[in-house]
Structure 1
Amino acid sequence: MRKLIIIAAASGALAVVLGAFGAHGLKSLLTAAQLNTFETGVRYQMYHALALLALPVLIPLADLRWLRRAGMAFILGTLLFSGSLYMMVLLQAAWAGPITPVGGGLFILGWLALIIALWKGQRHD
């Protein structure tokens, strides 16, 4: 879980850097639609960085194998979802468009894995 926390912190820091870059460095270079796409990538990256940070807190309540699967799905989802949006905007890589929903699917699988982790975990109710 220590590695997940490090990855989460790095992803959160990168989301802040990219958000500032988008708001200040790219604002005059991008169309409103491109800026919106970039900001969507930043937003989802931050959401899932925070979700990753929360996973270790859930260890006493959850099945560790499924908790790790959730973490991996969040990491891969961020790379594919946010990464493809960044590539589409910054590199004009239209080919990256079909990758975005794969990343979104991994986000969904991550949340489902978290539900399973909590369902299978130790019950304290």
Structure 2
Amino acid sequence: MSSRAMFIFAAISGFLLVAFGAFGAHVLSRSLGPTEMAWIHTGLEYQAFHTLAIFGLAVAMQRRISIWFYWSSVFLALGTVLFSGSLYSLALSHLKFWVFVTPVGGLCFLVGWFLMLIGALRLKRKADRHE
């Protein structure tokens, strides 16, 4: 994912986050139960955190290209789609299949954060060499 693609993903994800959050609060809350609303709320929280992380990676990639940040953003984006998307789908459809997708998205998040850590540690080492 180039920094441009990362910015685009973050913008679309942020837009959908706000739109679906408002729709959930004003429309879905009237027809869904507390369990379904909790799933949606969790999906929105994770989408928000990871959208901001992808935005931050895009900013970092503007300054220095990093294969670690590239793959981190790919896994964070995939995690957002799978984790949050499966929770939204579960709340709206009650198809139990989605409970098997959610942990895959969570694993993608973990991989993305780990790759970000490696990229950050490698930036530190490069900066130390130039001082």
TM-score tier (shorter):
over 0.9
Q: Which amino acid aligns with 1:91?
A: S
> Where do 1:102-117 residues align within 5 Å?
102-117=104-119
Aligned to 2:35: 33
Could you tell me how far apart the structure 2 residues matched to 1:31 and 1:72 are?
A: 33
| Bigger Rg over Cα | 2
Structure 2: 5+ residue runs without aligned partners?
none
Shift, 1:59, TM fit: 3.4
Could you tell me how far apart the structure 1 residues matched to 2:14 and 2:37 are?
A: 19
Aligned to 2:127: 123
> Where do 1:1-125 residues align within 5 Å?
1-59=3-61, 64-121=66-123, 122-123=126-127
SS at 1:26 equivalent: helix
Q: Residue 62 of structure 1 contacts residue 117 of structure 1 at CA under 8 Å; is this kept in 2?
A: no
Alignment RMSD, CA only?
1.7
Provide, for residues 81-118 of structure 1, a one-character-per-residue CA deviation record: whole Å limited to 9, x for no partner.
00110110112221110110110111111110000011
Q: Residue 34 of structure 1 contacts residue 89 of structure 1 at CA under 8 Å; is this kept in 2?
A: yes
Could you tell me how far apart the structure 2 residues matched to 1:63 and 1:3 are?
A: 14
- Which has the larger displacement, 71-80 or 52-61? 52-61
SS at 1:94 equivalent: coil
In the superposition, the TM-score normalised over structure 1's length comes to 0.93
C-alpha spacing 1:68/1:110, structure 2 compared with 1 (3 Å): same
C-alpha spacing 1:62/1:105, structure 2 compared with 1 (3 Å): farther
Structure 1: 5+ residue runs without aligned partners?
none
The structure richer in helix per residue is: 2
Provide, for residues 35-89 of structure 1, a one-character-per-residue CA deviation record: whole Å limited to 9, x for no partner.
0111111111111111111013323786610000000011100111001101101
Q: Which amino acid aligns with 1:27?
A: S
Could you tell me how far apart the structure 2 residues matched to 1:44 and 1:62 are?
A: 26
